[in-house]
């Protein structure tokens, strides 16, 4: 019985730590984008390093959580869904790391007229991912409240879509003096930022179904 309790405690802590990592990763992403827009490359590199460490730790935790759940036969009926959820949440921090890495490699030149657009877009996209975490935590403690928490994820995802569309419109129709390659490059960065909220929405869809199943 003591073995059960110890494993359970450790697993709960690991799941919490995993969500902490992703949550911090989202915060760092937001700050990272701001640093890049403000041309503070040193700070950006620090943020990138931090995200790299968080992503590595999240991967390790993800693997340990899956191992623990299988070897100790924890949540046998919901295990597949829980591991898929953790995988989908992990994709968010993976995508954050990938995006920040690509920005530092490609060093896109963002016109100052678009600074605000990019920051707002990154904020909205990060908000969607950020709001997913309390909902995911609630699945484990109060599944009745998951769906109401997910509303914010859907709201910020749709906001991100609107902002992304608007930014792309400005890039291609309003900002003068940019060649097509530059415009295409900026659109590519917009897609990267927007992708984070899309991933949050996909995880939210799964979580919503999981919550109904566990409450029934």
* Contact residues for another protein, defined by CB under 8 A: 1, 4-5, 8, 11-12, 15, 60, 67, 71, 73-78, 139-144, 214
Q: Give the three-class secondary structure for 52.
A: helix
CB of 161 to another protein, least distance (A): 33
Q: Which of 23, 194 has the CB closer to another protein? A: 23
Least spacing, CB of residue 136 vs another protein, in Å: 12
Q: Which residues contact 184 (CB under 8 A, 6 or more apart)?
A: none
Smallest gap from residue 70 Cβ to another protein (A): 10
Compare residues 105 and 141 and give the one whose CB is closer to another protein. Answer: 141
Distance of closest approach, residue 111 Cβ to another protein, in angstroms: 41
Nearer to another protein, 139 or 156 (CB): 139
Q: What is the DSSP string of 126-194?
A: HHHHHHHHHHHHHHHH-GGGHHHHHHHHHHHHHHHHHHHHHHHHIIIII--S--HHHHHHHHHHHHHHH
Cβ closest to another protein, residue 162 vs residue 213: 213
Compare residues 40 and 81 and give the one whose CB is closer to another protein. Answer: 81
């Amino acid at each position: 019985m003591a073995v059960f309790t110890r494993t359970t405690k450790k697993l709960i802590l690991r799941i919490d730590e995993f969500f902490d990592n992703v949550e911090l990763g989202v915060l760092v992403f937001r700050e990272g984008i701001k640093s890049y827009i403000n041309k503070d490359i040193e700070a950006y590199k620090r943020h990138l390093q931090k995200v790299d460490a968080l992503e590595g730790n999240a991967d390790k935790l993800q693997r340990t959580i899956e191992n623990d759940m299988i070897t100790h036969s924890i949540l046998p009926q919901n295990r597949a869904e829980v591991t898929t959820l953790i995988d989908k949440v992990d994709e968010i921090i993976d995508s954050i790391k990938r995006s920040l890495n690509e920005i530092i490699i490609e060093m896109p030149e963002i016109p100052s007229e678009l600074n605000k657009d990019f920051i707002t877009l990154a904020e909205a996209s990060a908000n969607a991912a950020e709001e997913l975490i309390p909902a995911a935590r609630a699945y484990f403690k109060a599944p009745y409240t998951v769906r109401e928490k997910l509303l914010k994820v859907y709201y910020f995802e749709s906001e991100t879509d609107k902002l992304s569309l608007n930014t792309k419109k400005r890039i291609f129709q309003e900002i003068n003096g940019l060649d097509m390659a530059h415009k295409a490059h900026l659109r590519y960065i917009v897609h990267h930022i927007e992708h984070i909220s899309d991933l949050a929405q996909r995880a939210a869809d799964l979580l919503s179904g999981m919550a109904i199943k566990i409450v029934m």
